[in-house]
Amino acid sequence: MIAVDTNLLIYAHREDADFHDQAIKALRELVEGGMRWAIPWPCLHEFLAITTHPRIFNPPSPLPIAMKAMAVWLDSPGCEMIGEGPGYYAILTKLLTDGKVAGPMVHDARIAALCVYHDVREFWTADRDFSRFVMLRTCNPLGRE
């Protein structure tokens, strides 16, 4: 299963994003490809917080428009939301410790731990910070042709 990071969702949603076309192409591959893919719950929350924030985007996405974009992805046949469950904390602890994580990086460790917990084979992200989590294989699909 492939999981998708917040940055790809934002780039696909916001037409004014630098990587909009590449992100749309990558997500379309997942949505239309018939394969199982996932969005970690924290990425959904972060997507909504960022796209609707008036200090980040001018104009921000209206909440109903951002939620409609999420609904399209969530309604695709292969998409599932992934969250915490029994045994998750042990994985989070290992990632935090091994990655020497503190401060804001705890959020990334949470996402990485969710992916490991759910046996995600590849995490699509444009954020190089995830490379510190050696238990998680990452891929930046924005540079692919």
**Domain tally, the chain:** 1
Looking at every residue in the chain, the average pLDDT score rounds to 94
Q: Answer yes or no: is pLDDT of 30 > 50.
A: yes
Domain range for 124: 2-143
CATH of the domain at 7: 3.40.50.1010
In this model, does residue 144 exceed pLDDT 80? no
Q: Give the DSSP H or E segment for 4.
A: strand 2-4
Query: Distance between CA 35 and CA 29 in Å, rounded?
Result: 9
User: Does this model's pTM top 0.85?
Assistant: yes
Q: What is the predicted pLDDT for the residue at 38?
A: 97
Cβ–Cβ under 8 Å, residues 61 and 52: yes
- Percent of the chain at pLDDT > 90 equals 89
pLDDT tens-digit profile of 42-66?
Answer: 999 999 999 999 999 999 999 999 9
